[in-house]
Amino acid sequence: MPIRIRQHVNPLSRKFQQPIEVPIWQEIYAKSDRSMHLDIGCARGRFLLEMAQLIPETNFLGIEIRRPLVMEANRLKDELGLTNLHYLFGNINSSASVLFQSLPANTLETISIQFPDPWFKKRHHKRRVVQPELVDILVNYLVEGGKVFLQSDIEQVAREMRDRFSANPLLTQLHSDTWLADNPLPVPTERELYVLGDNLPVYRVLLQKS
């Protein structure tokens, strides 16, 4: 039976200010020193579930603020016996430093933020996941040559994400056009398939750390 959850939760509420419970990575991954792909706001985790099977030599980590989705995603991962995939419950903006300090050094190779909650009202923009402080932490722990992939079906949200990451001097956009025409990843998200199925545009950005 599908899990019924709230579509949106307020990341600024008190209950989401607790730090993410950091696991012992050597107990999570079969080989914890492998390169890692981090997906922020992974929702039901189906994108990562496919990626982990397609690219077994990479570790995948999903962060999601809705606990029931994380529990179900980890259950499916365990059923498949995947030792290169894990999901964590929590608010990345209140836990980033603690989380990334715990990771094996020089493993964070790719970061994706795909179709985050848009929080349309101006007074709610502070609830959006891509905040300047988070960008600085992510870029600090990203390996040299590592990549950041962003996409949204809301142009305003995509522009804000792009502008905040592009403001970091260590990142360079890898395409000359404003938006990347195609998804560079081999697996689309459920939201991406839904948007493209309605013949609507997707705004994508790919950046690299120098």
Residue 200 CA to residue 160 CA, distance in Å, equals 19
The catalytic residues are 117
Cα atoms in the Cβ-side hemisphere of radius 13 Å centred on 6: 9
Closest CA to 151 of 100, 188, 126: 188
Residue 164 CA to residue 166 CA, distance in Å, equals 6
CA dist list (Å): 61 to 22, 124, 132, 146 = 12, 27, 22, 15
Say how far residue 17 (Cα) sits from the centre of its chain: 18
Angle at which helix 132-141 crosses helix 155-166, to 10 degrees, equals: 60
The residues with which 38 forms a beta bridge, in sequence order, are 61, 111
Strand order in the sheet with 36-40: 85-89, 59-64, 36-40, 108-114, 147-152, 203-209, 171-173
